[in-house]
Amino acid sequence: MSKIIIANWKGHPAIEAEAVDLARASDFSGMVICPPKQFLKTVSRVLKNAVLGAQDYAPDIYGLGCRYVIIGHSDRRRLGDTNALVAEKMACAVSDGLTPILCVGETAEQRACGKTESVITEQLRIGLSKIQTLVRGEGKGEIFVAYEPVWAISVEPGASPDTAFHAAARIAFLKKQVLQYSSWKWEMGNGKFLYGGSITSANAHSFLTPIDIDGLLVGAASVQPIEIQKIWQLTQHPENNH
């Protein structure tokens, strides 16, 4: 199974012509490109191999060409998205036929207090709680979960990536939890589990190697064409595909 890369452009680039250039430079199969909302339509016309994603749920994104959507990113949680709101967005995304990418992750303070497992379990449990079935909508019936420790996201002061070993252990933990907390039947084919936080072309290989990590959610490095191309190339290596 080849591994997937989600490119979260966040607020970049500033102008449409740059968004077109960046989309062309990142247009590989196995990539999901999540541009700022104002560029969704334009980028959807450019992509031939990559698939379009949105950075947050909105009722119009499927019609704009999105097939994936990031939900519960720490940027949104900081702006007020509660676990309950995340759950609503997850359910709407599934019934629209989108594949939602549910982000979970603990802050530096929660980590320091030893609360990582309880925080990510709660985010996962509530985030999935309003999804009744995966067969509604026209989607492929998939849900992705991204483990993104907040302290590892590159814009956080003093951020550094998790270790691949630790990230894989957290993801293995989340896989067990998901079986417990989904009311519908979760089958391995329904889900992918990703890591995100300070991924670069220099460290991506170590995160792509563990069998439990199905792909990466990449922020800052995804708006640098050479970086994102190198990261994508790593997913093509047979030893990274289990």
Could you tell me the smallest distance in angstroms from the CB atom of residue 187 to ligand PGA?
A: 26
Could you tell me the smallest distance in angstroms from the CB atom of residue 92 to ligand PGA?
A: 21
Give catalytic status of residue 148 as yes or no: yes
Stretch that binds ligand PGA, among 12-20, 82-90, 121-129, 219-227 (CB under 6 A): 219-227
Could you tell me the smallest distance in angstroms from the CB atom of residue 216 to ligand PGA?
A: 8
Q: Does 197 bind ligand PGA (CB under 6 A)?
A: yes
Locate 7 and state its tokens: 């490119």
Does residue 13 have a cis bond before it (omega within 30 degrees)? yes
| C-alpha angle 125-4-108 in degrees, rounded to nearest 5 | 50
- What residues from 52 to 71 belong to the interface with ligand PGA (CB under 6 A)? none
Task: State which of residues 105, 127, 149, 196 lies at the interface with ligand PGA (CB under 6 A).
Answer: 196
Out of 12, 73, 106, 109, pick the active-site residue. 73
What's CA 20's distance to the chain center, in Å? 22
Locate 52 and state its tokens: 């379009």
Give catalytic status of residue 227 as yes or no: no
Q: How far apart, in whole angstroms, are the C-alpha atoms of residue 31 and residue 115?
A: 32
- What residues from 153 to 192 belong to the interface with ligand PGA (CB under 6 A)? 153-154
Out of 148, 166, 187, 237, pick the active-site residue. 148
Q: Does 218 bind ligand PGA (CB under 6 A)?
A: yes
Q: Does 217 bind ligand PGA (CB under 6 A)?
A: yes
Q: Which residue ranges make up the site for ligand PGA (CB under 6 A)?
A: 8, 148, 153-154, 196-199, 217-221
Q: Which residues are annotated as catalytic?
A: 73, 148
